[in-house]
Amino acid sequence: MTSKKRSTYERILAAALEGFARNGVKATSIRDVAAASDVSPGLVQHYFSSKGALRAAVDEHVTAVARAALSVRKVDGQLIDQIPHPRTPLLARHFTAFLYLAPPLREADNAAMAIFDTLTELCRDQLSVLKRNGMLRSDLDLEWAALHTVLINLGTVIMEPGVSRQLGRPFLTTRQVQRWKQATTALFVSGEVRRKSSSA
């Protein structure tokens, strides 16, 4: 596949993700995606044989984004500096991917539920590594800790208009995302990370 074809493919995929996220899968047609990506409907169908195939490609893309951002990694240095790293890029750089998940999750859509399962599993795996390294409270409920990580991200996306209203400025700016990062880190550390005793 040439770089030109890859560029067209990625443009169509991005347009589909945006349309599905903003308007819903049912309300977004192949023609809508074609118009948004500045190609013909026939070219969309050249890459994606049907709307179902396009939806499957979007699901695969969102899952890949989640895996890249939340895959288990080694934690070096100060844990407080390392904890928020996987959350911030997924929320700020891939905001539309989370927005895409919200409506189908409410409808218990199988594909969206599978992505939600992947997000939670990745968070649980990372927490398990931290716990094995003695970095978390011994009584931490890993299942709910993983869910809280996903819910903080999803909740912020779903309620972004209200969040921006409360902040008095758009949430998706460098400064506001940094504030969110600091606030969620403080919440995570005070609620889940084992503190060393003062005598240590």
Place of tokens 């208009």: 161
Pull the structure tokens for residue 19: 């349309």
Helices (H), 71-139: 79-82, 87-92, 95-106, 110-132
> What is the reported pTM?
0.79
- Take residue 183 and report the two structure tokens written for it: 């606030």
CA 21 to chain centre: 13
Burial class (CB in 10 A: 0-12, 13-18, 19+), 121: middle
Can you tell me which residue has the tokens 């993983």? 146
- The pLDDT tens digits for 122-174 are 889 888 888 888 888 888 899 999 999 888 888 888 899 999 999 999 998 88
Query: Is the distance from CB of 87 to CB of 143 less than 8 angstroms?
Result: no
* Model confidence band, residue 72 (pLDDT cutoffs 50, 70, 90): low
